[in-house]
A and B are shown apart, each in its own frame.
Chain A
Amino acid sequence: MSPSGIKTEKLAGWNRPPVIESDGEGELLEVAMGPHHPSTHGVFRMDVVLDGERVIKLKPVFGYLHRNHEQLGERQSYLASMPYTDRLDYFCSLTNNWAYALAVEKLVGQEVPERAEYLRVILAELTRIQNHASTIGFLLQEMGASGTPLMYAFREREKILDLFESLTGSRMMCNYMRFGGCRVDASPAWLEATRKVVAGLPAFVDEFERFLMTNEILMARCQGIGVLKPDLAVNAGISGPMLRATGVNYDIRKVDHYGIYDRFKFRVPLGDHGDIYDRYMVRMLEMRESILILNQALKDLPAGPVMDPKAKIRNFRPKAGESYGRIEAPKGELGFYLISDGGPNPYRYRVRPPSFINLTVLEDMCLGSNVADVVLIFGSVDIVLGEVDR
């Protein structure tokens, strides 16, 4: 049964991209958008067939940043993969760390101390805020608002990155979480600085909203464009804000309650139309919910160790078995699938990258729209090529 309650039809190909007829006037034009298109967030190519301004076919081409991350993971110890996960989605290294740590902890049944769980939540929500803010900034950038909104987002992101740096030592490649806790403890000074930054965030979101939400250009270019239907979204494995923008209530923080997310009160923002504007709004509202979670977590943060003293750092050899751990990363469901054969390296190390799978429906969303909108639709998916190509 589909989430909208309609029994999905039989295998009639309802989940395939529609076929768009050309209007028969003039010639079709094949364009390779990318790999160095300024909007492509890295190196990504779309082979587009255009009928005038209209897109009638679109095939994404991947692999420009492929470095076989999964094989790297199979060739080295469990711990040594941790810094490499930072480089998957380099905007959100802390959530990547968490997903990987979670998968390994599930594999060996490792417990995590309270304080470490709270720190993980704080860092993950800070990551979510900076990711969503810059995604919105990039989206506006692609719309032609060159610089200003992006710089506003980056101004805030900078404060959060400074927090990351003073806790983990690095702004983006944090390498902070370990199997069974976190690497270092947060000092009272750091917590104080975090409280200050978090206290300033609502004003930033307000400001952002004030000058974007009712902006006519934004509305004209986003509303009704790149619509995704909830049935197709679920069937195509879409996750994260993109799935929730279609109205499907599925947030892994609420479903799996991984970590300690069942202790916090927050709401899951849902969209209605599944268009670009809804995706933008869902991200905006998620930032507000993240601030709520942050306030609760910073208030309740208990004292204690940040690392299970029994956890092993070196010579870590899980018993044979497999595990799939997933979290709600800012971009969607980030999963790690590990198979252990008892050795020091994983037998199989697989990353389920949300950006990559969210691109499955890129063609469906773009077909029939103008070529200028393709850039916007693509931007609203929110991808990072480090994760797509791995």
Chain B
Amino acid sequence: MLGDGILKGLAETAKNFAGSFVSKERMTTVEYPEERLPLPEAARNFPFLVYDGDDWEKGLRCVACQICEKECPPKCIYIEKSKDKKPDYVGKPQIYPAKFDIDISVCMSCQICVEVCPFEAIKMNTEFELATDDRFGGLLLDRKELARSNEYYHQIHPTEASEVDARLAEEKAKVEAKAKAAAEAAAAKAAAPPAAAAPATPIAKPAAPVEARPATAAKAAEVAKAPAAATAPVAPKPVPGTGSDGAASMTPEDKKAAETPAKTNEGEPKAQGEPKE
């Protein structure tokens, strides 16, 4: 019959039209600024820098190794290294970024900086209301504007953040265990000559270190359990250097890149403005 198909189509439309008044599932409009859809956990927008503790400047995990700067495809990260050092999360003195800028008008939210960072220092934010009328000031975020606390990270990516925490705790435990072992070895060495002098009491030799052990050993066991309880890691990550300086896990090439003196930015005044807040 002529017109058959059109009638069928119209009936379909009418059904959906009427249905949208009764079925809650079909009421899809969300009154945006008042109402918001929850973002999925994996959502990503622009990167931020994680800090531990209360002081954003002291707690920044970033050690200015400049790997992310090198790998960022559109080259929108700009880092200047500090001259002095400050302790990082395991207590090692590390350099820190004296300047860390991300031009989010260039950033394409690809997450490669997050993937390559060996120090879990940079993560993806989910904030999206970033419109501004100042292209160079408002969209160029400096390290203060980029810094977010670890709690914030837990808030937006809970699963990922606890995995990261577990991983970091494990490393910290390893470092502590290593330091412990080193201390023990030193103690054993120190104790060795008298032990040799008095071979009759060999058991008494490591007494002092053993005494100190229980507390830390228990702690190490506790944190070692954490990663096992967490789900499988997101992706194989280069494990950060567990002992020495920040360049431990870098390849020679990166090391070279990291060692080049901090580049000077072009002479133009940076229209950065005062940090907000």
Verify A80–B6 contact, CB threshold 8 A: no
B194 at the interface (CB under 8 A from A): no
* Segment of A46-54, A212-220, A244-252, A282-290 in the binding face: A212-220
Query: Contacts A217-B6, A314-B71 given: A184-B42 contact, CB under 8 Å?
Result: yes
Verify B232–A80 contact, CB threshold 8 A: no
Verify A83–B110 contact, CB threshold 8 A: yes
B2 at the interface (CB under 8 A from A): yes
Residues of B within 8 A of A213 (CB): 5
Residues of B within 8 A of A155 (CB): 28
Verify B12–A207 contact, CB threshold 8 A: yes
Residues of A within 8 A of B251 (CB): 314-315
The docked-state distance in angstroms from the alpha carbon of A177 to that of B217 is 41
* Residue in B closest to A304 when the chains form the complex, CB atoms: B232
* Residue in B closest to A183 when the chains form the complex, CB atoms: B235
The docked-state distance in angstroms from the alpha carbon of A148 to that of B9 is 10
Residues of A within 8 A of B43 (CB): 165-166, 169-170
Report the interface size for chain A: residues with CB under 8 A from the other chain.
43
Interface bits A130-162 vs B (CB < 8 Å: 1, else 0): 000000000000000000100010010000001
Query: Contacts A148-B13, A183-B115, A211-B9 given: A169-B73 contact, CB under 8 Å?
Result: no
A309 at the interface (CB under 8 A from B): yes
B30 at the interface (CB under 8 A from A): no
Residues of A within 8 A of B44 (CB): 169-170
Residues of B within 8 A of A167 (CB): 42
* Residue in B closest to A152 when the chains form the complex, CB atoms: B16
Residues of A within 8 A of B28 (CB): 155
The docked-state distance in angstroms from the alpha carbon of A89 to that of B169 is 42
Residues of B within 8 A of A162 (CB): 40
Residues of A within 8 A of B116 (CB): 313-314
* Residue in B closest to A215 when the chains form the complex, CB atoms: B5
Residues of B within 8 A of A222 (CB): none
What is the CB-to-nearest-CB distance from A207 to chain B, in angstroms, rounded to a whole number?
6
Q: A211-B12, A307-B236 are in contact. List 12 more A-B contacts (CB 8 A).
A: A77-B71, A80-B72, A81-B73, A166-B43, A169-B111, A170-B43, A175-B110, A183-B235, A207-B12, A217-B5, A311-B236, A315-B251
Which 9 interchain pairs have the tightest Cβ spacing? A211-B9, A83-B110, A166-B40, A80-B73, A215-B5, A214-B5, A169-B44, A211-B12, A169-B42
Residues of chain B at the chain A interface (Cβ within 8 Å)? 2-6, 8-9, 11-13, 16, 28, 40-44, 67, 71-73, 108-112, 115-116, 124, 231-232, 234-236, 238, 251, 253-254
Q: Can you identify 7 A-B contacts, CB atoms within 8 angstroms? A: A165-B40, A167-B42, A183-B115, A184-B234, A215-B6, A216-B6, A306-B235
